[in-house]
Structure 1
Amino acid sequence: MEKQEWYLEYQIQYNRPGLLGDIASLLGMMSINIITINGVENSHRGMLLLCKDEVQISRLRSILHTMDTIEVTKLRKPKLRDRLAVRHGRYIHSDIDDRKTFRFVRKDLGLLVDFMAELFMKEGHKMVGIRGMPRVGKTESIVAASVSANKRWLFLSSTLLKQTVRNKLIKEEFNPENVYIIDGMVSARSADEEHWQLVREIMRLPAMKVIEHPDIFVQETEYKMDDFDYIIELRSHEDQEITYETAEKQKQHGFGDFGDGFNMFDF
């Protein structure tokens, strides 16, 4: 029988010496292997486990619930968020009211790149929207995630190096394995009908599409916010407000989304 992966997360109630060793010893006696372990925010610790069956997990759950030094917060088959939490030592935060919206700040670009890379490796039609002010690192993060996922990226519209608006692609560029990047603001302001025909053609392709400024994009197209599978919000700091009025002014003056000290060629 193939072994199963599980995610265990617990909050430390009383951090006495040897606590982690006791839990590791318990898992060892139950023949449950620890794949990865890390601290996960606010006195939480997360572990990726490998075991034979759910009977082992059921027994483990019963024993852990008798321990007054910890409180089990998660014991489940690992989700993408769990794997990234163990890898980076912190959780991806999602919107309480809209569970498909995920929030990041600039200091967590590594976590964001890993998250998007995992999304890019999914097959089939997917739409990802990314919100953020100019110069915060949106486009560079998309490119870095494409590289991490071993995917080719193609700009249909962008301001990364200079303003780009494409009206056609060569045959080889129509590939479901590609990541197609659209700047909704550039397309809305500068593009003609040929460009929009190309965008619609790409939208029908079973591939990953990433749209910067998705709110502007849906204003100019027949697509709706409900059509997006994921929405990512990237801020330079936690309290930054994302407003399109400022972004429009900076775009009109030719500023791209380069952030200070962040270079796409670092990846």
Structure 2
Amino acid sequence: MQLVEWYFEYEIHKNRPGLLGDIASLIGMLGINILTINGVATMKRGMLLGCDNDDQITRFESILNTMDNITIIKLRKPTLRDRLAVRHGTYIQRDEDDKKTFRFVRNDLGMLVDFMAELFKMPGHKLIGIRGMPRVGKTESIVAASVCANKRWLFVSSTLIKQTLRSQLIEDEYNSENVFIIDGILSHRRANEQHWQLVREIMAMPSVKVVEHPDVFVQQTEYSLEDFDYIIELRNDENEEIKYELVDQNKDGHNSFSMFDF
């Protein structure tokens, strides 16, 4: 029988010696397996549990509610954030008002790569936007996540090594298993109609698309931020402001971005 996975997180009120051992013993007596365990905050612990049926979890919860030293924070089927919290020992920061926006700092690059890799593994269409200042690690994280997810990545527009602006794909690149990477600023500033036609074709494919600088990308296209399934913000530190400083229009009538010049 396949184990049913549950995520259990609790807060410790008094961290007495042997508390974790008592909880682990209780879990063992109920026939529940501990698959992964880690601290997710100073006085919080998270566990990924495996059991044969939900009745085991019901009995476990009723006993925990009689313990004075801890409070149950979460006891549920695990989400992607739960799994990563146990793996990395901290929670991904999520915007309280916009639930599809997730925030990372440069020190969290390992967790960011894991998060995107899990998104890339999900079948079907995914439109992901990633915001961040220059040289913070956006493109490198996308590529690393593609490798972790065993996906081929394709630059539709990019400045990682040299300026790349594709106007067509070869036959084997039209593959829904690929990860397509678009630099919203480069496409906005320098692309022609052939490039935008290719972007529209890719957008219609049931595949993963990652757009760097989505706020600029939507200025040039019929798409809006509402079309994005996930928005990721990557900063050098928590206090950094992500901003696009516009200067005068160039001779072609396009805005140029002084903070993001190529």
Tell me the TM-score range normalised by the shorter chain: over 0.9
Which AA in structure 2 matches 1:103? R
| 1:259 equivalent in structure 2 | none
Q: Secondary structure at the match of 2:102?
A: strand
Q: CA deviation at 1:108?
A: 0.3
How many angstroms does 1:250 deviate by?
A: 4.1
Which one-letter code corresponds to 2:258 in the other structure?
A: K
Q: Distance in 2 between matches of 1:139 and 1:244?
A: 18
Q: Report how many residues are paired.
A: 253
Q: Secondary structure at the match of 1:2?
A: coil
Written as runs of structure 1 = structure 2, the 5 A alignment for 1:202-217 is: 202-217=202-217
Residue type at the aligned position of 2:169: L
- Are residue 2 (structure 1) and residue 12 (structure 2) matched? no
Instruction: Write the deviation string for residues 43-87 of structure 1: whole angstroms up to 9, x where unpaired.
Output: 110001011111111111111011111111000001100000000
* Larger RCO, structures 1/2 (Cα 8 Å, 6+ apart): 1
Query: What is the aligned partner in structure 2 of residue 95 from structure 1?
Result: 95
Work out the CA distance in 1 between the residues paired with 2:157 and 2:259.
Answer: 16
Partner SS, residue 202 of structure 1: helix
State whether residues 244 and 259 of structure 2, in contact with CA within 8 Å, keep that contact through their aligned partners in structure 1.
Answer: no
Provide the C-alpha distance between the structure 1 equivalents of 2:163 and 2:144, rounded to a whole number of angstroms: 19
Amino acid at match of 1:249: S
Partner of 1:106: 106
**Offset of residue 188 of structure 1:** 0.2
SS of 2:210's equivalent?
Answer: strand
- Matches of 2:257 and 2:48, distance apart in 1: 44
Post-superposition Cα deviations, 1:82-131, rounded to whole Å, max 9, x if no partner, equal 00000000000100000000000000000000000000001111100000
Q: Find the aligned partners of 1:70 and 1:84 in 2 and give their Cα distance.
A: 22
Name the aligned partner's letter for residue 83 of structure 1: R
Task: Work out the CA distance in 1 between the residues paired with 2:69 and 2:152.
Answer: 48
Corresponding residue to 2:257 among 248, 251, 257: 248
Structure 1 gap segments, 5+ residues each: 255-267
Distance 1:197 1:228 in 2: 19
Aligned residue number for residue 252 of structure 2: none
Residue equivalent to 1:42: 42
Q: Write the mapping of 1:1-150 to structure 2, written as runs, cut at 5 A.
A: 1-150=1-150
Distance 2:39 2:86 in 1: 7
- Give yes or no for the alignment of 1:228 onto 2:228: yes
Match of 2:249 in 1: none
Unpaired runs of 5+ residues, structure 2, are: 247-255
In the TM superposition, residue 248 of structure 1 has moved relative to its aligned partner by: 2.1
Q: Deviations over 1:136-189 (max 9, x none)?
A: 000000000000000000000011011111111101110000000000000000
RMSD: 1.0
* Amino acid in the other structure paired with 1:183: D
TM-score by length of 2: 0.95
Segments ≥4 residues shifted beyond 3 Å: none
Q: Helix, strand or coil: the match of 1:168? A: coil
Offset at 1:203?
Answer: 0.4
CA distance in 2, matches of 1:154, 1:25: 50
Under a length normalisation based on structure 1, what TM-score does the superposition of the two structures give? Answer: 0.93
Conserved 8 A contact 2:128-2:232: yes
> Deviation at 1:3?
2.1
- Does 1:154 find its partner at 2:163? no
SS at match of 2:41: coil
Asked if structure 1 preserves the Cα contact closer than 8 Å seen for 2:129 and 2:230, the reply is yes
Amino acid at match of 2:260: K
State the one-letter code of the partner of 2:170.
Answer: I
Spell out, residue by residue over 1:19-40, the C-alpha distance to the aligned partner (whole angstroms, 9 max, x if none).
0000000001101110000000
CA–CA distance in 2 between the matches of 1:148 and 1:224?
29
SS at match of 1:102: strand
Q: Distance in 2 between matches of 1:250 and 1:231?
A: 21
